[in-house]
A and B are shown apart, each in its own frame.
Chain A
Amino acid sequence: MAGVLALLACAAPGAQAAESPAQVQARGLAAFVHRCGMCHREGGTGTYILARRLGAEQSLLEKRTDLQPLYVRTVVRWGLQNMPRLSRVEVPDADLDAIISYLLAPKPAAKP
């Protein structure tokens, strides 16, 4: 049971007004890994199907620079072709906002 208490302790703080953009993005990264990563990182079905449709360079969401907030939100809630719809239990609105901030944050310049 000790594990459960530890989990509860670190899950406590939610979205707070005082959060810096970097903190929001860090929360977004964690939520992305937990709720999107199994499909949108290497080896996930989202990555494969996007590679089919848009080409390998556009297949990893975390490397994209062209995503729009409303587009991401709409795809998540209404699904897109083979992307299942995600409910507000799976991804609460506050988490989705943070995920979008994370995905839209300026990308570090690619290594030459």
Chain B
Amino acid sequence: MKLILPPGVSQARFDQAMAAFARVIGQEWVLATDEDRETYLDMYSPGRDESHAAAGALAPANVAQIQAVLKIANEFHIPLWPISRGKNFGYGGAAPRMSGTVMLDLGRLNQILEVNEKQGYCILEPGVGFFDLWDHLKQNKIPLQMGIPGNGWGSVVGNALERGFSPAGDHSSNICGMEILLPTGELVRTGMGAMADGKAWPLFKHGFGPSWDQMVVQGNYAIVTKLCLWMKQEDEAAITLDIKLDKPEELKWYTEAMTPLRLRGVLDGLVRITSYQATATVPTLRSEWYQGKDSIPDSVIPLMMKRFNVGWWNGALRLSGYSDVCEVQLKRVQAQIARYTKQEFAVIRGPGNASPGPSTYPLQMTNWYGGRGGHIGYSPVMPADGKLVQEQFERTRRRYQEFGLDYSGTFYNDGRSVTNVNLILYGKDDAEQKDRVRKLFQALIKDAREQGYGEYRTHLSYMDDVAATYDFNHHALLRLNEKVKDAVDPNGILAPGRNGIWPKAYRDQRGKL
């Protein structure tokens, strides 16, 4: 990838800045060749590479080096975008929102600083991957569990900072204290960590006064250098109900049935239900099922269901904890299900620690159309109400059909809200199809906005569009976010445009791709 300079920075100034960075972190950790820039492109991007092209990357080794980098970035007005492992596939990978931004790759800060079995938490640096933490738990026989996203190749910290989630729940809700660097270089610890030697840093979330952790999550106010994350004790037993619903309209009753169980705590985590196609996209190619350019027709659905022995909707409903308690909960769950259907679901009993661990296998889904592939996700949040969820599903599926794409939807119910992750797969080299993907995405944003639903997280290219849907009082929240941004980051050097928050210096870049 050829160099695209940061807006308003000349080649000479840029070169001076890069030389200054090299003096503080070492030349070998200033990555700014065409080949280096290539490695920070979003390989799944549905748009042009030039829309989110990094000017290079810096890989400091420690907090002091990051502080030195920030000083230079402020002096030369070089925008920086922090990443932990940069595997944010579907949302932008390791790329920045604004071309010309320099990536601050924190992959070298990769220590597991503490794992506390008794109180159930870990303290991690940003470069620690899900595989690293998993290996650490297994090698040291630590009976704690971790929430693992479908793509297990990323960073525990980076994922939590995106509000990533798994059936274990919203990973950012387990954050309890951070060490952060402000864009001006000041080192801060949040929560109880604000006391020098604060003993309850990883144990009590709020400290005294406003709570900053969630200001940093999905924000661009600070760089996280250490993160405390709660972990669950390993369960004694697990019971899984193999849910298979044969008709698309059954999503409604299932949502209604699960909601009170989740609210009363009979079920914990998120109750997940996924449409049939998810079973086919990883192990098979689309061409085995259908060659047409339009959406896969309904006639193919029974074939997929038969081959993989699945329903239209599928979900593993998991109860875990003490074995006797699980048995009692199972009775409650079965009784609740019996109020809605005569169908019985297979019950699988097993140990509480049967998780297979992180995996890269699901990444294979991008091969669906053969050749290079990508995906983006459209994920609005709505009330946990069967009728509303059913309507959202039907509306969304009609849109996929209108634009000739294959529907693949998952609903995560937490009892009060439902997050609907819609996966849109495409071939990277099919320009016409990618055009349809972008049109579908805009239609989905519009539809959800009309219903009063907003997205929980989005791809770089849609951050401004999604931020614009949060429009109460003429976008008062965005104005507040940007007021804070200008106060903590006067030169606007940190992650300009992240989640639609633009600093004064680059506000004219809003909406530009």
Contact = CB atoms under 8 A, between A and B. Distances in A.
B31 A45 contact: no
A79 interface: yes
Given A52-B367, A84-B43, A89 B358 contact: no
Given A52-B285, A78-B38, A90-B107, A38 B113 contact: no
A87 B364 contact: no
B364 A38 contact: no
B39 interface: yes
Nearest to A44: B360
B364 A82 contact: yes
A13 B373 CA distance: 39
Interface residues of B, number: 42
B245 interface: no
Interface stretch (A1-9, A21-29, A103-111): A1-9
A84 B131 CA distance: 17
A79 B38 CA distance: 9
A90 B39 CA distance: 10
B360 A81 contact: no
A44 B360 CA distance: 6
Contacts of B94: 87
A29 to B, nearest CB: 16
Interface residues of A, number: 26
B113 A4 contact: yes
A86 B107 CA distance: 12
Interface in B10-52: 28-29, 31, 35-36, 38-41, 43
Nearest to B40: A87
A5 to B, nearest CB: 10
Residue among A44, A82, A92 with the highest chain B CB neighbour number at 10 A:
A82
Interface string B433-469: 0000000000000000000000000000000000000
A63 interface: no
Given A1-B114, A85-B39, A89-B105, A44 B361 contact: yes
A43 interface: yes
Contact of B361 (A1, A45, A81): A45
Contact of B372 (A38, A48, A82): A82
Given A3-B112, A38-B152, A81-B372, A48 B361 contact: yes
B371 interface: yes
Given A3-B112, A38-B358, A89 B364 contact: no
A39 B152 CA distance: 11
A82 B153 contact: no
Contacts of B131: 38
Nearest to A39: B360
Interface in A48-94: 48-49, 52, 77-79, 81-82, 84-90, 92
Contacts of A43: 359, 361
Given A38-B153, A85-B43, A89-B108, A77 B367 contact: no
Contacts of B28: 92
A73 B38 CA distance: 14
Nearest to B115: A3
Contacts of A85: 38-39, 41, 43
B115 to A, nearest CB: 9
Interface in B351-372: 358-364, 366-367, 371-372
Contacts of B107: 87, 89-90
A49 B364 CA distance: 7
A79 B59 CA distance: 21
Contact of B113 (A1, A46, A82, A88): A1
Nearest to A7: B111
Contacts of A48: 361, 364
A89 B113 contact: no
8 contacts: A4-B113, A49-B367, A78-B38, A82-B366, A87-B39, A87-B107, A88-B59, A89-B105
Interface of A: 1, 3-4, 7, 38-39, 43-46, 48-49, 52, 77-79, 81-82, 84-90, 92
Given A38-B359, A89-B57, 5 more contacts: A38-B358, A45-B360, A45-B362, A87-B57, A89-B107
9 interchain residue pairs of minimum CB distance: A87-B39, A85-B39, A89-B107, A45-B364, A89-B59, A45-B363, A89-B105, A45-B360, A39-B360
